[in-house]
Amino acid sequence: MALVAPACTVPYNGTAGSTGDGDNGDRGPCTPQHSPLGTEVLLPCPGGAAEWRRGGTVLGTSPAPGLALPNASLAHEGHYSCHHPVTGETWATICLRLGYPPSPPAIECWATSYPQAVNCSWGLSPEPLLDTDFVATYRHGTDTGECSLTGPRSCSFGDLQVFSLTPYELNVTAWNALGAASRTLPFLLENIVKPDPPESLRVSPIPGEPQKLLVEWSPPSSWPFPEYFPLQYCIRYSWENNSVLTTVGPYELTSHTLTDLEPGSLHHIQVAAKDLADSGEFSAWSPAASGTPWTTADRSPEAAQASHRSPGGFQASHRSPGAGTNTPPPPPLPLLVPPVAAFPRSG
């Protein structure tokens, strides 16, 4: 019967396949062993009955086949060694790493630079806790290609065919020492269009107009061809001491005059963008800019031209209506809610 070892409280400081004394034990070659969390793990020893150590701690003597770790937890990770029970000769050292095989990746794809490129990212649940590699490929009809990694869990590909009724398919395979899993996400290109937020938002008072503000912005710089693929914009705003948000639009121009505003109050304004053909969804909201309508105190030319920006700004977002509609976004969230980006996910 194998010796059953208790969980150790010393965390493992080494890496899989390393040499040395992750638990301050005997130095020497280390054989990596990867095992699933929550299972019984057997650490084999080639010499038969052996004394087992972890670092400088003697765990006991175990007959063949080795040391048993029931219900293994992260506390069991570390550098183990088995020795001749009399002479102390080292027979084997094992670096134990625990985790999970990867689950099928949860994939999301979007096109912020339509029609030049598609960007995708993915996640794993639960986290494997072990070094995990990925390969991502795409298919469009009979055409296939690699989705070039742009980060540990993201990729991008181009050479797109617009207005195609043939879905693209993004396949991601994850693998580690305990196993592999893959998932494919199909999508129509126009359904995942999502611009970045508009940029260079400016808010200016209009001389002689105590209830109006001029709002101007630029298309996102990542949107490559605004003259061929124009955008539409929605605006939302509130004013100080009032948490109620008002959303107006959509508009096709990159400027708009807000009317019927609260005189003398500082207004906080954001803009979101969407493909004019209603493909995909609205962007996240832009960082906020702030401004106060003209007042009788603003009589000098310098004051009339003054504009205000909120320090630091912030972002928020909303889900747009489904593709193919031409209605503004649903009622917005409070201004201090962080951005929530919603993308198509695999089933």
Distance CA 63, CA 60 (A): 10
Q: Are 191 and 344 in contact (CB under 8 A)?
A: yes
Sheet strand arrangement including 154-158: 106-110, 117-123, 154-158, 148-151
* β pairing state of 90-99 and 31-36: parallel
Handedness of CA 17, 18, 20, 23 (dihedral sign): negative
Q: Are 231 and 251 in contact (CB under 8 A)?
A: no
Distance CA 112, CA 279 (A): 12
Exposed, middle or buried, 285 (CB in 10 Å: 0-12/13-18/19+)? buried
Q: What SS3 state is found at 260?
A: coil
Question: Virtual CA dihedral for 74, 79, 85, 91, nearest 10 degrees?
Answer: 130
Integer angstrom CA distances of residue 97 from 21, 34, 178, 179: 14, 5, 11, 14
CA 156, 276, 319 angle in degrees (round to 5)?
70
Query: Residue 301: in which H helix or E strand, if any?
Result: helix 301-304
- Position 296 scores a pLDDT of 82
Tokens of 125: 């649940």
Q: Mean pLDDT per 10-residue run, the chain (347 residues)?
A: 43 34 53 96 92 91 92 95 93 95 97 95 97 97 96 96 96 98 97 97 96 97 93 96 91 96 95 96 97 82 48 37 41 39 39
Distance CA 238, CA 339 (A): 17
Q: Are 297 and 304 in contact (CB under 8 A)?
A: no
CA 30, 34, 38 angle in degrees (round to 5)?
135
Q: DSSP per residue over 134-201, as a string?
A: EEEEEEETTEEEE-EEEETTEEEEE---TT-SSPEEEEEEEEETTEEEEEEEEE-GGGGB-PPPPEEE
Question: Virtual CA dihedral for 22, 24, 28, 31, nearest 10 degrees?
Answer: -30
Question: Virtual CA dihedral for 255, 257, 261, 266, nearest 10 degrees?
Answer: 40
**Residue 286 one-letter amino acid:** S
Q: Are 172 and 132 in contact (CB under 8 A)?
A: no
Rounded to two decimals, what is the model's pTM?
0.71
Distance CA 31, CA 141 (A): 45
Distance CA 175, CA 81 (A): 28
CA 126, 132, 133 angle in degrees (round to 5)?
130
